[in-house]
Amino acid sequence: MSLSVNEHPWGNGIPDINEIEKICWQMLHEGATNRKSAMHQAVIGTSVDSIAYMRTVVLRRVDIETRKIYLHTDKRSKKMKDLEQTKHLSWLVYDQSLRTQIRCSGSIIIHHMDDLCKEQWDHTGHHSRRYYMLDREVEEMDDASTGLNEALTAFDYTLEESEVGFQHFVVVETRIDWMDWYYTHSKGNRRAKFNYQENILTGMSWLMP
């Protein structure tokens, strides 16, 4: 199944809800594996004390079979404080060329210093490691600094030296328990939802868009 522009002209045809579910997961997988995909960036939301906090992250990995999606972050970040408290994460991706929004949500597992974390860290390039190498003792800064010192700015460190960042590197796994698909079209929008339990699809239905 291709995911190219205007591939699914469902304004004219009747989509099969089972197919929609599969395509959503393919789109998410494409988002994780193709840097050029609009779904390579996702918005994640946490909720603390009745306030929603949202931010962009890179969709790093999608396991279709187990309905798990992953991001990388810094253990010292605000979002980690939220996640340690709520153990739950919501995701949103949107691709204008596919006219598709996917929202999904689930409980999380934080991988820190374990095998999965190490595997992902080993695939994290030299350039991407520098923010994990930072001293982040202070949140607020007096000037408009990037926070990077001269060596980090110039990528003047070896891969071996960058290993110091591993202690701050975290992989967050989300076990999706619901997904909502929204497709826009001039002839009418369409919407469906899917529920999962222990990575098994347990329910699906069309929704009023």
Ligand X SMILES: Cc1cc2nc3c(=O)[nH]c(=O)nc-3n(C[C@H](O)[C@H](O)[C@H](O)COP(=O)(O)O)c2cc1C
Binding site for ligand X (CB under 6 A): 41, 53, 55-58, 71-74, 77-79
The beta strand positions in the chain, using DSSP E, are 41-48, 51-58, 61-63, 68-74, 88-95, 100-111, 169-183, 190-197, 200-207
Minimum CB separation of residue 45 from ligand X in Å reads 10
Q: What span, in angstroms and rounded, lies between the C-alpha atoms of 87 and 105?
A: 11
Amino acid at 136: R
Closer Cβ to ligand X, 20 or 59, answer by number: 59
Of 56 and 158, nearer to ligand X (C-beta) is: 56
Q: Which two tokens mark 63?
A: 């396991």
Minimum CB separation of residue 173 from ligand X in Å reads 14
> Whole-number minimum distance, CB 115 to ligand X, in Å?
21
Name the DSSP class of 120: H
Nearer to ligand X, 43 or 204 (CB): 43
Cβ nearer to ligand X, comparing 77 with 184? 77
Q: How far is CA 154 from CA 126, 127, 132, 137, 148, in A?
A: 12, 10, 15, 22, 9
d(CA 59, CA 174): 11
- CA–CA separation, 67 vs 96, rounded Å? 24
Nearer to ligand X, 20 or 39 (CB): 39
How many of the other CB atoms lie within 10 Å of CB of 7? 11
d(CA 85, CA 114): 20
Q: To the nearest whole angstrom, how small is the minimum distance from the Cβ of residue 69 to ligand X? A: 12
**Beta carbon of residue 48, minimum distance to ligand X (angstroms, whole number):** 10
CB of 200 to ligand X, least distance (A): 29
Of 197, 208, 192, which is closest to residue 101 (Cα–Cα)?
192
Nearer to ligand X, 23 or 170 (CB): 170
